[in-house]
């Protein structure tokens, strides 16, 4: 069976499919009811909601079929998503595109096949509502119209699911991020630290915690107001992100305090080098409300497992190290 060519804008189509969070998840019972209805209306023993992923066909919901997925190369629906309307084939054994597909030559031995595309509002086809039978047959016009309406219902249900997922993500982000700097907040920062410790323990590596406190931040607030202080905190967050890797984590601990969690650090010297690089960056002058402002930072360091084997021990050590740095400056 020749593999179907990729649709135009395949990357965007895949992104649209992924936005629904469907692949690999169990179907809500409503979808099983819908495809059973499709089979009953079309008088076929099989019906599926087929989603075409990067390299596989995923049967999100199915009726009369035991398999959950196939290779995309063997998927009849990989061809159907290439056209905007209904694909209807009386006998796929006579179609050179499908005749040697395992779905045709082996179980479930598909003979008749019809598929209606599931379209996103942006015009991408992410899969189909399809029906199949083991004998040649055809659909009546009312069955074709019903299959089209069912695919539209499925598309609208997918959109509703997407809206719920996006709302949940927004709420989660609000609950776990600082609304000024948009960095992870204290709770998420602690979670990132725990994860770094767990990873270091599992792979016998090291992790480092940097505890950062801005020097004389109160003076900036007094001189430039809370708006000026907020502007400084946002700029500090940007500098921290610019100086860390994607595998590291930056969080706002509270007030003018920040955490940086460094994963997979080789030794105390590497962690110390990162501390110095961050301090150099943070100690550079800031432009606050049109004025040049100098606000240095004191940074404490704790290394797992040398300075503690849990988040509490590392925080205590890094905090004490930060105060020692502040008083020695």
Tokens of 105: 């030559």
- Catalytic residue, candidates 53, 213, 256, 321: 256
Q: What are phi and psi of 282, to 5 degrees?
A: -75, -25
Q: What is the DSSP string of 195-247?
A: HHHHHHHHHT--EEEEEEEETTHHHHHHHHHHHHHHHHHHHHHHHHHHTS-TT
In terms of Cα–Cα distance, which of 288, 300, 306, 293 is closest to 327? Answer: 300
Q: Are 241 and 195 in contact (CB under 8 A)?
A: no
Q: Is 191 a catalytic residue?
A: no
Residue 72's φ and ψ, nearest 5 degrees, are: -60, -30
The strands making up 249-254's β-sheet, listed across from edge to edge, are: 249-254, 257-262, 207-214, 297-304
107-113 contacts: CB < 8 A, separation 24 or more? 107/66, 107/67, 108/46, 108/64, 108/65, 108/66, 108/67, 108/132, 108/134, 109/134, 110/46, 110/76, 110/134, 111/135, 111/136, 112/44, 112/136, 112/137, 112/138, 113/76, 113/87, 113/88, 113/89
Q: Identify the residue whose tokens are 């119209």.
A: 145
In angstroms, the Cα distances linking 127 to 4, 51, 303 are 14, 4, 50
Task: Tell me how far apart the terminal alpha carbons of the chain are, to the nearest angstrom.
Answer: 73
Hey, which residues are catalytic here?
256
């Amino acid at each position: 069976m020749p593999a179907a060519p990729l649709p135009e804008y395949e990357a965007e189509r895949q992104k649209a499919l992924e936005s629904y969070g469907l692949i690999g998840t169990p179907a809500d019972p409503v979808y099983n009811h819908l495809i059973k209805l499709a089979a009953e209306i079309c008088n076929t023993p099989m019906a599926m909601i087929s989603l075409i992923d990067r390299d596989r066909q995923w049967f999100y919901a199915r009726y009369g079929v035991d398999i959950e997925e196939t290779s995309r190369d063997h998927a009849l629906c990989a061809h159907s998503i290439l056209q905007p309307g209904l694909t209807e084939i009386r006998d796929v054994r006579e179609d050179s595109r499908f005749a040697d597909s395992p779905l045709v030559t082996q179980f479930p031995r598909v003979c008749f096949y019809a598929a209606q595309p599931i379209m996103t509002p942006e015009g991408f086809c992410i899969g189909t509502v399809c029906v199949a039978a083991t004998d040649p047959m055809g659909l009546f016009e009312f069955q074709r119209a019903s299959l089209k309406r069912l695919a539209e219902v499925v598309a609208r249900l997918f959109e509703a699911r997407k809206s719920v997922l996006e709302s949940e993500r927004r709420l989660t982000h609000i609950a776990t991020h600082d609304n000024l700097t948009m960095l992870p907040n204290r709770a998420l920062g602690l979670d990132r630290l725990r994860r770094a410790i767990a990873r270091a323990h599992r792979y016998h590596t090291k992790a480092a915690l940097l505890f950062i406190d801005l020097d004389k931040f109160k003076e900036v607030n007094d001189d430039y107001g809370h708006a000026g202080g907020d502007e400084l905190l946002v700029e500090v967050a940007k500098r921290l992100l610019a100086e860390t890797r994607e595998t590291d984590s930056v969080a706002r601990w509270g007030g003018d305090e920040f955490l940086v969690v460094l994963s997979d650090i080789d030794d105390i010297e590497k962690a110390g080098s990162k501390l110095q690089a961050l301090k150099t960056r943070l100690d550079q002058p800031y432009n606050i409300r049109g004025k040049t402002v100098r606000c240095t930072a004191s940074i404490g360091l704790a290394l797992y497992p040398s300075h503690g084997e849990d988040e509490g021990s590392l925080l205590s050590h890094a905090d004490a190290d930060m105060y020692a740095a502040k008083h020695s400056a």
